[in-house]
Amino acid sequence: MDQILQELKQSALAELETISDPESLEALRVAYLGRKGRLTLLIRSIKELPVEDRPRMGKATNQLKIELQKRFDGILSSLQSRDAERKAKEEAIDVTLPGISFLRGRKHPVAATLDEIIEVFSGLGFKLESGPEIETEYYNFDALNMPSDHPARDMQDTLYLKGGSLLRTHTSPVQIRTMEKTQPPLRMICAGKAFRADTADASHSPMFHQLEGLMVDRRVTLADLKGILTEFAHQIFGRNTRLRFRPSFFPFTEPSAEVDISCVVCGGEGCPLCSRRGWLEILGAGMVDPEVFKAVGYDPEKYTGFAFGMGIERIAMLKYGINDIRLFYENDLRFLHQF
Ligand code: DAH
């Protein structure tokens, strides 16, 4: 039995030499020290030895067991630390390497201007509504008191679709859609695309964006309109901006006005941007025509209201000093990167 014990020890130590990973180390441990391992079986067989040999063999096998146990543990921890070292090396970050750069997107200047304007009117209690870009003649014209002989319906302005629908020529139809589903008091804005059969030039585009506003309540007056638009102009163009209302005409408002702001470049002195007039037109507005209220079933004796509509591109051009509307749609990154 002494000899078997010696052999077992030699072979265990020899095999341990060849181990290079924790999995085969574990397999080897089981082969010697596991429940059916070679050393375990040897220890179990001691009870078959003559009584006088048993204590000595017991001691010898036990010593070997402890020794092997120690070796296994030692090798395991050195394998583990070698593994950890390799992993750390593999995963190390070289901070001196150049990074992978991403082309970062940003808001289009029209979208940025729109968001800013929406923010202003939200702060004044106006709720954001929306409506379809493909409209009926009723919503785009009739309900807005634009009769069938109105020049805006002309084929030159309006893009008609097969079946009589059309691309909305302004965002005003959303006024009608909102009033049809809401009772006063009401304060709404809406924004989106509008389409006209215009040839593109520095100030025209067949597709452009508008923002529309409407407030209806008892005793809403022109003074409310002026107050709201003044606050809007102050927030968008600066607190020194002055407002001017020029009498005008829109079928859906009475009275109507074109609203100008003092020139963003010269402040009113007169310069090339404002054609020496000192003023820049920014929007159309007025008190809602009673005919419009009748179309949506509001009582014009009970309610009054104001409405306004502006071109987003126009506001963005004034804000950023852009002189050609076509730049917004060309997708030229050299232009877009500047905002
Ligand atoms: N819808 C008009 C246009 O496209 C702009 C406008 C003017 C809207 C006066 C209004 C308004 O709501 O009251 O030219």
The values of phi and psi at residue 26, to 5°, are -65, -40
Does 47 have pLDDT greater than 90? no
> Closest residue (by CA) to atom 7 of ligand 1?
284
Does 320 have pLDDT greater than 80? yes
> Closest residue (by CA) to atom 2 of ligand 1?
309
Banded model confidence at residue 282, pLDDT cuts 50, 70, 90: very high
- Centre of ligand 1 to C-alpha 257, Å, is 10
Does 155 have pLDDT greater than 80? no
Q: Where are the alpha helices (H) located in the chain, listed in sequence order?
A: 2-17, 22-33, 38-44, 54-91, 109-123, 137-140, 173-181, 222-237, 290-296, 312-320, 333-336
- pLDDT number for residue 77: 86
The torsion defined by the Cα of 152, 315, 248 and 290, in degrees rounded to 10, comes to 70
Cβ distance 216 to 179 under 8 Å?
yes
Does 168 have pLDDT greater than 80? yes
Q: To the nearest whole percent, how much of the chain has pLDDT over 90? A: 64
Ligand 1 pocket: which of 252, 260, 281 to mutate (most atoms <8 Å of CB)?
252
> Closest residue (by CA) to atom 4 of ligand 1?
170
Average pLDDT over residues 199-228: 96
- Centre of ligand 1 to C-alpha 225, Å, is 14
In angstroms, the CA 21 to CA 19 distance is 6
Ligand 1 pocket: which of 258, 308, 310, 314 to mutate (most atoms <8 Å of CB)?
308
Please count the other Cβ atoms lying within 10 Å of the Cβ belonging to residue 157: 14
- pLDDT number for residue 61: 86
Highest mean pLDDT among 16-25, 38-47, 287-296: 287-296
Please count the other Cβ atoms lying within 10 Å of the Cβ belonging to residue 66: 10
Q: pLDDT tens-digit profile of 63-120?
A: 888 888 888 888 888 888 888 888 888 888 888 888 888 888 889 999 999 999 999 9
**pTM for this prediction:** 0.72
Q: pLDDT tens-digit profile of 283-314?
A: 999 999 999 999 999 999 999 999 999 999 99
Average pLDDT over residues 131-149: 95
- pLDDT number for residue 189: 98
Banded model confidence at residue 212, pLDDT cuts 50, 70, 90: very high
- Centre of ligand 1 to C-alpha 324, Å, is 22
Q: In this structure, which CATH number among 3.90.1150.10, 3.10.300.10, 1.10.490.10, 3.30.930.10 belongs to the domain 109-336?
A: 3.30.930.10
Please count the other Cβ atoms lying within 10 Å of the Cβ belonging to residue 12: 22
Banded model confidence at residue 141, pLDDT cuts 50, 70, 90: very high
SS3 content of the chain, % helix, strand, coil (to 5): 45, 20, 35
Does 229 have pLDDT greater than 80? yes
- Centre of ligand 1 to C-alpha 311, Å, is 9
Does 34 have pLDDT greater than 90? no
| Residues paired with residue 261 on neighbouring β-strands, in sequence order | 243, 280
3-state secondary structure of 109: helix
Q: Which residues line ligand 1 (CB under 6 A)?
A: 170, 172, 212, 250, 253, 284-286, 307-309
Kindly report, as residue ranges, where domains of CATH 3.30.930.10 are found in the chain: 109-336
